Amino acid sequence: MRRVAWLVLAIGCSGTSSTSPTDQSELEGCGASVDALPGTGAEMYIPLDALDPVVMVHGPQGGWHVETAAFVTGSTAEVSVLPRIVRKSDGVRLAGDQQEQFIALVDYDDDACTGSFFSVRAFLDDTFGELDTGTSPQDVICGLAGEILTLTIAVTDLNTGAGTEATVDVTATLDPNDIQICP
């Protein structure tokens, strides 16, 4: 019985050794030069053009966020994502002090090195106005309606370290749940 086990072990371990890279993306060139097209969307990637509206979603726990998304090219399937939002009029950072998210791209195409992601939340800091004006977080968000915001999405390929930042100016829009509350 022992001889059979050793024979199976010897056959199972025999074979040729390869010195090829362990990461198939190195052979295909994925991850060498990453680019992204910024977007929005909770259920799918929706591209954004300059000054398109983005909803400041009033979340179930009382805070606000913007759903970000992007179509990513030139990367492997695993990326990190960090969205940032700045009010264009004065440069105040509204979102981006959160941890980056590590995700696998949706509908990733190995041959084209492309995929997308969606539903990456940029959590809005609704307290910056309280410090300066004494207003409530709701008033801060209401005051952002119609403002031009600069949305930047940083994407880094987790396998190669190559990255990019994609930026688009958008128009802040109230969540339908906030329209009745805002003056």
Above pLDDT 70, what percent of the chain? 81
CA distances to 6, 8, 52 from 116, rounded to whole Å, are: 48, 45, 19
Q: What is the Cα–Cα distance from 96 to 103, expressed in whole angstroms?
A: 17
pLDDT band at 23 (very low <50, low <70, confident <90, very high): very low
Average pLDDT over residues 94-118: 97
Q: Tens digits of per-residue pLDDT, 46-70?
A: 999 999 999 999 998 999 999 999 9
Instruction: Give per-residue burial for 100-135: e unless 16+ CB within 10 Å, then b.
Output: eeebebbebeeeebbbbbbbbbbbbbbeebeeeeee
In angstroms, rounded to a whole number, what is the distance separating the alpha carbons of residues 154 and 165? 4
- The rounded distance, in Å, linking the Cα atoms of 54 and 73 is 23
Overall pTM surpassing 0.75 (yes/no) = yes
End-to-end CA distance of the chain: 84
Q: How does strand 93-95 pair with strand 78-87?
A: antiparallel
pLDDT tens by residue, 141-167: 999 999 999 999 999 999 999 999 999
Q: 14 or 98, which is more confident?
A: 98
Average pLDDT over residues 95-100: 94
Helix (H) and strand (E) counts in the chain: 5, 11
Q: What is the pLDDT of residue 126?
A: 78
Cα-trace Rg, the chain: 23
CA atoms within 13 A on the CB side of 107: 10
Under the banding of pLDDT at 50, 70 and 90, the label for residue 180 is very high
